[in-house]
Structure 1
Amino acid sequence: FRTGVLAELTRRKGVHIVENNLREKGLRPRRKARSEVEAAVELEELPKTAEGMLDGEIPYDNARILAKASQEGDIDEEDLVGRARTQSPDKFAGTIRKYQQQRSEDDGMSRLERQRCQRFAKINTDHTDGMMVLYGRFDPITGALIETALSQKMNELWREEDPRARCSPGQRMADALAGLVTREDTDEDGKPSRGPRLLLIADYDVIARELRNCRLGDGTPIPTEKIRDLACQSEILPAIFRGASQPLDMGRSRRAASPAQRIALVARDKACVGCGANANWCQAHHIIPWAVQGNTDIDDMCLLCSRCHHKVHDDRWQVRRKPTGAYYLKPPSKHDRRETTHRYLSYRYRRNPIKQRR
């Protein structure tokens, strides 16, 4: 029943509005809200599956697996629905994989190519404890290369460890992954290249002549004593506001945001003002378009991810400012929404089987 209601609401109000309602009013995490809306839309095209789930004969997890498979290629719903009723989610997932492998020979697309198309990786924050969580899916060849590199690095770390105080295998793999991703490489001249760039924000106590309230660009607090370690491992980008050497209002002198403006935008907005996507994936958006005499000034720009950028330019969403100074996205009017919702759903859920967030 819930899935049917979500599907109907999505048709009437649009995907983004229903997702936001689930997050704000239903207190759903962003990933869970998006997953529920996607499942509702996908199951509309699988009436037998939706009926079985409504009657309690098909578990929700099996229905979700079947819906995902339908987006990746043609399936025989009637045949698979019978198995979905009798198999556990783990076993049914294996059944679907075997089914797709057999079908891949029919349409000329190899299993490896399918797996390559389904590659996926993401990184987000677990808000329960502040830890960063990485997740990825790779085809077997790429996965083997990654596993080999990790294994070699883990062996190096194991040999360097004190035998009396060894890390757990999980900790060692985490250290190996961090070492491989953030390792210092060399440039074309053979000189060591700089490590990852970090935006560090801190308050400077003029009287005590010391930094306080140190935090990363997304607001994550860090101990002041860690600054020295970070300086050795990364290039630290200081956020200096309204300084004479770092002008933050460029007017019409340039179209793209300057590096100093980019730093200030990340420090102010911290993430996409529309959906909260990581600032590293965002672009500096002109609230008043450059083409109609908009200025490249801090107060006239905000951070938007690619998805929300398209919502503004293509689907008539608007950037607005709250009394507190924070920016947000306002959805289009009902008339505009009716014109854009069908086009968005048709593209995202029916024509493009591989749904990626850019």
Structure 2
Amino acid sequence: MDHPIRLAARQIDGALKSVADVNPAFMTATDKAAALVEIASLEARVAELRLRVTADASDVAEESGARDVGVWAAAATHRRRSDCAADLRLALALADRPLLATALREGAVNFDQARVIATALAELPADVDAALVDQAEEALVGYAARFDPIELARLGRRILDVIAPEIAEAVEARHLADLEASAQHRMRLALRALGDGTTRITGLIPDASAARLATYLHAFTNPRRDDTDPAEPTLVEVRAKRASKPGEPSSGPVPYGRKSAQAFCQLLETLDHSRLPIHGGDATTLVVTMSLDSLRADLATATLGNPAPGDSHDRITADEARRLACTAGIVPAVLDGQGEVLDLGRSQRLFNRAQRRAFALRDKECRAEGCHIPAPWCEAHHRHPWSTGGRTDLADGMLLCSHHHHRAHDPTYTTERLADGDVRFHRRT
């Protein structure tokens, strides 16, 4: 005789087959609404039954030689292994949480809510008393009648504040200390050049460091205007337009993700190189190598650092090299036709900290006409490029924000010195 669970499964299957050809278009709105709620409740009960069987199905995995029943289920039902593994974890959690399992079985909690509650209970610190865990389970199951899974997850993270406020802060402090120690162990960062002019950065860093980075990026992005004059595109937009194919639509407002990436690049350029570690016998310095002809040409290239033969991701335009030469810690290495070094600039030749302070006192903000980006967000710029004999002194220097500093080195623009010392940009026709 068949087991009652298998018999129930066949009965459910038979009931569904009996309505396979029924068209819901002929249902009234009231019937449709009631059916949707009833079917959702039924799905929760079926899910609980499947998880109940899963929790006690280790013998199925043993008979087939599978590592666990999750792996076996993925092969037998053609589902994703990650989903089956998650179901196994939830099944085992429900086996230890009869209140939550009963709520799922009776339809008081849906499948997604049950997963969120089980996760919240599992993430409670190990030293929390078992009675408090039971209280947390009872409270979260009760909240499921009013809150969706996202809201339940928020409540779950702060459930001790509700059921045991007298110990919540101390427990959270210990939990955060464990998380911070784990973050220091798990932190990773990797850079991979894609060969298309970009490098993918992937990483995992502690929350405190991420918050600091976010604050720094906000310092760069907050002063930016969102309504850039369409008649005066930025250098990024000019390059994007050059790279676009004929007939492609022009880009709209700059997405926040791109703004953050631009801010990150600007942050790297404003780091105080004098405070970076010494390695290889020299301060942390980026060398830009280019020929004398390239230095003087409008359209040419340069090399960053000392790449291996055949590398292409360390190539930049001469325009970008000339702009980078205004930044402390960037050393221009100019070669003649035989590859011999004609000029190896030193970081001392570039604007130093005292000069930057003098610029801030004198200029107070970006010297581009109509721009009011404050001095701390600006970069020191040579009025006359170092490639044409410009001097690194106060008379030949000025402050420009990152946007206008790029524009100053953009060959599609000319500059005009105004009577008050500001600079006006003109797009070449």
- TM-score (norm: length of structure 1): 0.40
User: Larger radius of gyration, structure 1 or 2?
Assistant: 2
- Which structure is richer in relative contact order (CA contacts within 8 A, separation 6 or more)? 1
